Amino acid sequence: MRSQNAIFFKEKIMAAETIFSKIIRKEIPANIVYQDELVTAFRDIAPQAKTHILIIPNKLIPTVNDVTEQDEVTLGRLFTVAAKLATQEGIAQDGYRLIVNCNKHGGQEVFHLHMHLVGGEPLGKMLDK
């Protein structure tokens, strides 16, 4: 178990140079739809629905487990930006889904906290079980 924790910790450290960090700094191209001093939002390159936008804090927070009380304003901004973008995308009325995955079993692939805003079509069940 200890070696797994060491590997996982190393993955979190390496997150400082994830693709999301590079998008925030505009070092690589992305279809950014919103950016302010706290968060950045951009279209997913492999959308799972007609609308699929990722909303991320500009500050590196690897997972939900790493959130602190000092992050409350930033996390609140994730939700207000999600609502604003849902309205702009024309999906607020019919509904949409907000998804935050945490760690490997939760489906997190990039260790930079991010919220998926998906909608624009019926989404079906969240889990197949």
pLDDT confidence band for 18 (50 / 70 / 90)? confident
**Helical H runs in 52-122?**
72-88
Task: Count CB-CB contacts under 10 A for residue 75.
Answer: 17
pTM: 0.86
CATH class name, domain 2-119: alpha beta
Burial class (CB in 10 A: 0-12, 13-18, 19+), 99: middle
Q: Which active-site residues does the annotation give?
A: 114
Tens of pLDDT along 80-113?
999 999 999 999 999 999 999 999 999 999 999 9
- The ranges assigned to domains in the chain are 2-119
Instruction: Give which of 50, 56, 41, 45 is closest to 123, Cα–Cα.
Output: 50
Residue 60 contacts residue 40 (beta carbons within 8 Å): no
